[in-house]
Amino acid sequence: MRIGELAARTGLSRDTLRFYERSGLLVGITRPNPANSYKDYAEANVQRLAVVACLKPLGFTLAECREILSVAMTDKGRRRVYAARKLAEVEERIRELEAARDHLREVLRVSASPSSSS
Amino acid sequence: MRIGELAARTGLSRDTLRFYERSGLLVGITRPNPANSYKDYAEANVQRLAVVACLKPLGFTLAECREILSVAMTDKGRRRVYAARKLAEVEERIRELEAARDHLREVLRVSASPSSSS
DNA sequence: CTAAAGCGTGGACCATGGTTCATGGTCAAG
DNA sequence: CTTGACCATGAACCATGGTCCACGCTTTAG
């Protein structure tokens, strides 16, 4: 399929897809017609982009998505390693944010009392 | 004081301080000596940068720090509004990350079972 | 006096994840 | 045949938070 169809089927803009292509997230790109410069994107990219759409909200960068996709179909163990590593990062970030949250609550508690500003 | 001293007293690099100055975080900057172009930074900037150092890990951007500092000394109520708004953001982000964490745990749980890869 | 250290300015560069623009080629409908 | 939609490429630009460099001037230490 061409980029417009891929965009329609994934909900991503053509520009974003071109950016993802530069980022190495897409595979199976050919130029079947020597008369023009149009590219053909393999069907597999729809699935790959679904994986990216799933991973991105989990905090994976595009580079990490690329790495994961490169082993995703062949190496379950390595895929687990990525997930486990990211899980640790996410848990650490949650702890940091909980500390920030408690700090902000303290700010609000203190600033609610009658006197004392800064 | 000059930028070097401010850097020494805050632990920030001169470059970072100049970046912060461009970002509008510093006040009371004069050029007391007409013979040179050296700037003098008001003592108050040490405290301001301490506030920034406190706010940044809480997820406040530099622009938000600037806003908060602009009202910090005069308007306790508005300061509360900023803190409350950021608290809501932090709590939302925590919820998102917890969802991501659960998703990753699920990935690890599923990929631990014997068969089925992608 | 000389050399090093400090200072100000402006600009380039880094990563991240895109968006927008300009240019030029191609394809399909009317 | 013309118009509009689609495509590719490269480059510039956006925000965020800086870092690094070169240039030239000043200040300070030896």
Nearest to A52 by CA among A6, A95, A1: A6
* A22 sits within 7 Å of strand C by its CB: no
* Residue A47 pLDDT exceeds 80: yes
Per the document, the length of chain B is: 118
Taking the stretch 27-86 of protein chain B, residues with Cβ within 7 Å of any atom in nucleic acid chain C are: 37-39
| Chain A nearest-CA residue for B71 | A118
Q: Which residue is it, tokens 């709590």?
A: B91
* DSSP code per residue over chain B: --HHHHHHHHT--HHHHHHHHHTT----EE---TTS---EE-THHHHHHHHHHHHGGGT--HHHHHHHHHHHTT-HHHHHHHHHHHHHHHHHHHHHHHHHHHHHHHHHHHHHSSS---
Task: Give the model confidence (pLDDT) of A66-97 as tens digits.
Answer: 988 887 656 677 778 888 888 888 888 888 88
How much is the pLDDT for A16? 96
Which tokens is A111 given?
Answer: 């600033």
CB B81 within 8 A of CB B66: no
Residues of A contacting chain B (CB within 8 angstroms): 57-59, 72-73, 76, 79-80, 83-84, 86-87, 90-91, 93-94, 96-98, 100-101, 103-105, 107-108, 111-112, 117-118
Which tokens is B20 given?
Answer: 């912060």
Mean pLDDT confidence for B41-66: 92
With an 8 Å Cβ cutoff, are A111 and B76 in contact? yes
Nearest to B93 by CA among A53, A51, A90: A90
- Closest nucleotide over all strands to A8 (CA to C1'): D6
With an 8 Å Cβ cutoff, are B58 and A91 in contact? no
Greater model confidence, A56 or B3: B3
Residue A6: half-sphere exposure toward Cβ, Cα within 13 Å:
26
- Closest nucleotide over all strands to A63 (CA to C1'): C16
- Closest nucleotide over all strands to B15 (CA to C1'): D19
How much is the pLDDT for A116? 39
Gap from B37 CA to D23 C1', Å: 15
Mean pLDDT of all residues in chain B?
87
Mean pLDDT confidence for A53-62: 87
How much is the pLDDT for B93? 85
Instruction: Please report, rounded to a whole number, the percentage of residues in chain B having pLDDT higher than 70.
Output: 90
How much is the pLDDT for B116? 39
Work out the minimum CA distance from A65 to partner chain B, whole angstroms.
14
